[in-house]
Amino acid sequence: MLSFWLPGLGQLYAKAWWRGCAIVSASGLLWAIASQEMSPGALWACRWPECPAWAALLWGLSLAVWLWNIRDASRTARISQ
């Protein structure tokens, strides 16, 4: 359940060091990009990369990575036991 709070934390706990560090870094980068895309002007003007559809795609991708990460962390924990 650690990956529920921070993607990659469950992998680090299961001693999958490289995998956990890669997931923490990648999800942090994806989250940072997605948060910058959703500026107030993006709601009214569809200029790339400030288009609301682009921001929604990035947030959707972040959500998919987060959900996959939770499943992967539980699978990694079972394998490492």
Q: 47 is in which domain, residue-wise?
A: 2-80
Q: Give residue 7's region: left, alpha or beta (phi > 0; psi -120 to 50).
A: beta
Treating both helix axes as pointing N-terminal to C-terminal, what angle do 17-37 and 52-80 enclose, rounded to 10 degrees? Answer: 160
Judge if pTM exceeds 0.75: no
> What domain count does the chain have?
1
Per-residue pLDDT of the chain (81 residues; tens, 9 = 90+): 778 888 888 888 888 889 889 988 888 887 777 666 555 555 455 555 556 777 778 778 888 888 888 888 888 888 776
